[in-house]
Structure 1
Amino acid sequence: MSFRIRAGFYRQEVNKTVWDVPERYRDLLQVGTGAYGTVCSAIDRKTGVRVAIKKLHRPFQSRLFAKRAYRELRLLKHMKHENVIGLLDVFTSEISLDRFQDFYLVMPFMGTDLGKLMKMERLSEDRVQFLVYQMLRGLKVKSGVVYRYVLILRLVLCCVQILDFGLARQADSEMTGYVVTRWYRAPEVILNWMRYSQTVDIWSVGCITAEMLLGRPLFKGNDHLDQLREIMKITGTPAPDFIMKLQSQDAKNYIRSLPKVPKKDLHTIFFKASSDVVSAMERMLVLDPDGRVSAAEALELPMFSDFREPEEETEALPYDHSMDNTDLPLEQWKRHTFTEILSFQPPLTELRDSKETSL
């Protein structure tokens, strides 16, 4: 049941949530919900393409939520690259700031994700190389923009895209059902490191590379501590300088209590893989993030020499972080968000229908 609320917009209730959306988006179907929002799939009648529309849950209920919503929108507007999921549209049904309470983000609908692909078939090494190259291209674009965890790697038209909602951590299972578990978390995330560098994502790529080659997760811990033990069975127990960098005294004590384990040679685990591929994983799966390869450095490794197009390996334009550390009243965050919505320019090229993709 839907009805028109103003020119160009209609209202529909989807699973007890009210959606006020433009006429161009039809056939709304809820595909996921989380702490911060709900996602529906819809058909964009303008392009004929299925899209994902995210309605943030009460984005202006507090200053914290308002700032989070503003940053998420800013980051999505900023990212423009074929290997990073971008924003197709953003809208609100309200035309005045004083009535503005909700807004909606429109992105490409998730087609095939790597989780599904890995369950369907074992990938050949050259396909693994190509997919990892695409991931790293996306991460190179992200570098300096989002110091967050790589959430989902998704296949579109034989091309990997990275989905990152900025701060919306619930996005993983909402959008694809492929939950990013602790198995892909970098050690510094598990250990609650005092700062995350850009290489936090590289660890995840190393884990996914290993899984594509093995057909199973490399580090399959049952809980956080077990995850660390699984990691250190391969990386070896860390050196004292690594332990000194940890912020938590409990983490330091725990690691010091572990039996000393030497680093394992990855060639013994990936004995069917080429030495170039194994060497690349050795550079990605380094316990200390300071010693881990960056996306730009990884792209220059011999593993990717057959796929490299250096002129295509662009970095994003500098992102203005000036607002990230400001503490504004709720109404000001709301005003800034409203302005960002009004100034949104849709991408020049509309995505073609991203149906289930096979590589």
Structure 2
Amino acid sequence: MSMSSRTRPGYCRQDVNKTTWEVPEQYRELKQVGTGAYGTVCSAVDFRTGTKVAIKKLHRPFQSELFAKRAYRELRLLKHMKHENVIGLVYVFTADLSLDRFHDFYLVMPFMGTDLGKLMKLQNLSEDKVQFLVYQMLKGLKDLKPGNLAVNQECELKILDFGLARQADSEMTGYVVTRWYRAPEVILSWMHYTQTVDIWSVGCIMAEMLSGKPLFKGNDHLDQLTEIMKITGTPTQDFITKLQSQDAKNYVKSLPKVQKKDLQELFSKVKPQAVTVIECMLLLDPESRVMAAEALALPYFSEFREPEEETEAHPYDHSVDNSDLSLEQWKRHTFTEILSFQPQVVESRETAL
């Protein structure tokens, strides 16, 4: 029997929806919970710890240089993320014993149960839940749309797919088009992006959680912009001057003048403090929009605040991600990252005393 057909010691094979998964024996009860263009996710139970995990198997990660680069980047970003509101990596493994036989690898992450998009369809969220969820979004702020926000039964939220969201829009499964949550400057490529493109997304999601329906439901890019301006009002001359393209300036000038809506009236049943948060986030001018740190300091979040816990992420080194490497080089880098992975040891509180 050749080595390639034999399973690695300590691993077992399981068939999930006509696909063979080769996983360490500690992972049992695999059930498919999602699939997209780049991979399939199963829930599983880790029998050593008794915890439920999500395991992602990438679809043929080394079929091309582009796929290999994407797979490497996803692994690196997940290894890098150590924030309680961003999905990080519990473990990574491959059943392939050597680089020349390396074809597949698996990413193990915490299992969350649902995403915010599904949760909003299932129930009207109470205001205190909205408050807690938005607080967590701001703490772990990255590319946001409701399908990217995983939630568990304790209403704890983690951001999924950090850093891959802007490329993976075509892969949206299970939730509406992300255009509804996109900042106006992204829709029309008006100006350089800043962190506040994500603040706009939080504002849209928060408004939807409080009202039960999406705030800006555009049918296409220009319709989206029209919907936005019905609420924000048409831009001021100062703002038009900042636009980088002459086409954008001409287009915005051609729009019929609309007055800004009073959000306190629009959300009359919602606490005024909550509406203030939305107002700071949904400003057309990205430079005027509130930053995550400033938003966290607003009175609306004061009961949750533990500023010492609001950690800034360490800078992420993009140097290898941005290089043009051959398929074999990406493969070697990925294999090295898997071998060097150190699982975090989480001590239980009792034993740490």
Q: TM-score, normalised by structure 2?
A: 0.87
Q: Distance in 2 between matches of 1:23 and 1:336?
A: 26
Shift of 1:182: 2.2
- What does residue 207 of structure 1 align with? 204
Q: Distance in 1 between matches of 2:240 and 2:308?
A: 40
User: Does residue 290 of the first structure (1) align with residue 287 of the second (2)?
Assistant: yes
User: Does residue 58 of the first structure (1) align with residue 60 of the second (2)?
Assistant: yes
Letter matched to residue 106 of structure 1: V
User: Does residue 26 of the first structure (1) align with residue 28 of the second (2)?
Assistant: yes
Alpha-carbon contact 1:203-1:285 (below 8 Å) kept: yes
Alpha-carbon contact 2:282-2:289 (below 8 Å) kept: yes
3-state SS, counterpart of residue 5 of structure 1: coil
Letter matched to residue 265 of structure 1: D
Counting only pairs closer than 5 Å after superposition, residues 261-300 of structure 1 correspond to structure 2 as 261-300=258-297
- Across the aligned residues of Structure 1 and Structure 2, the Cα RMSD in angstroms comes to 2.6
- What does residue 163 of structure 1 align with? 160
Q: Which of the residues 107, 110, 113 maps onto 2:109?
A: 107
Q: Which of the residues 297, 300, 310 maps onto 1:313?
A: 310
Q: Which of the residues 339, 342, 350 maps onto 2:339?
A: 342
The 1:341/1:302 distance shift into structure 2, 3 A limit, reads same
The 1:249/1:16 distance shift into structure 2, 3 A limit, reads farther
Q: Distance in 1 between matches of 2:285 and 2:74?
A: 29
3-state SS, counterpart of residue 6 of structure 1: coil
Q: Distance in 1 between matches of 2:35 and 2:347?
A: 26
> Moved runs in structure 1, 4+ residues, more than 4 A?
170-174, 240-253
Q: Distance in 2 between matches of 1:15 and 1:128?
A: 36
The 1:47/1:253 distance shift into structure 2, 3 A limit, reads farther
Counting only pairs closer than 5 Å after superposition, residues 188-267 of structure 1 correspond to structure 2 as 188-193=185-190, 195-240=192-237, 242-243=239-240, 251-267=248-264
Shift of 1:291: 2.2
3-state SS, counterpart of residue 128 of structure 1: helix
Letter matched to residue 125 of structure 2: L
Higher relative contact order (CA 8 A, sep 6+): 1
Q: Distance in 1 between matches of 2:346 and 2:169?
A: 28
The 1:245/1:348 distance shift into structure 2, 3 A limit, reads farther
Structure 1, gaps ≥5 residues long = 143-147, 352-359
Q: Distance in 2 between matches of 1:12 and 1:207?
A: 41
3-state SS, counterpart of residue 74 of structure 2: helix
Alpha-carbon contact 1:34-1:170 (below 8 Å) kept: no
Q: TM-score, normalised by structure 1?
A: 0.85
Q: Distance in 1 between matches of 2:347 and 2:190?
A: 40
Q: Deviation per CA, 1:259-304, whole angstroms, max 9, x where unpaired?
A: 1212212111112223322121111111222222111111111211
- What does residue 74 of structure 2 align with? 72
Shift of 1:313: 0.9
The 1:293/1:93 distance shift into structure 2, 3 A limit, reads same
Letter matched to residue 31 of structure 1: V
- What does residue 323 of structure 1 align with? 320
Alpha-carbon contact 2:8-2:96 (below 8 Å) kept: no
Alpha-carbon contact 2:36-2:171 (below 8 Å) kept: no
- What does residue 355 of structure 1 align with? none
Matched pairs, number: 340
Shift of 1:193: 4.7
Q: Distance in 1 between matches of 2:225 and 2:51?
A: 43
Shift of 1:170: 6.2
The 1:334/1:32 distance shift into structure 2, 3 A limit, reads same
Which segment is superposed worse, 226-235 or 125-134?
125-134
Q: Distance in 2 between matches of 1:182 and 1:117?
A: 20
Q: Distance in 2 between matches of 1:20 and 1:318?
A: 34
Q: Distance in 2 between matches of 1:274 and 1:154?
A: 25
User: Does residue 332 of the first structure (1) align with residue 329 of the second (2)?
Assistant: yes
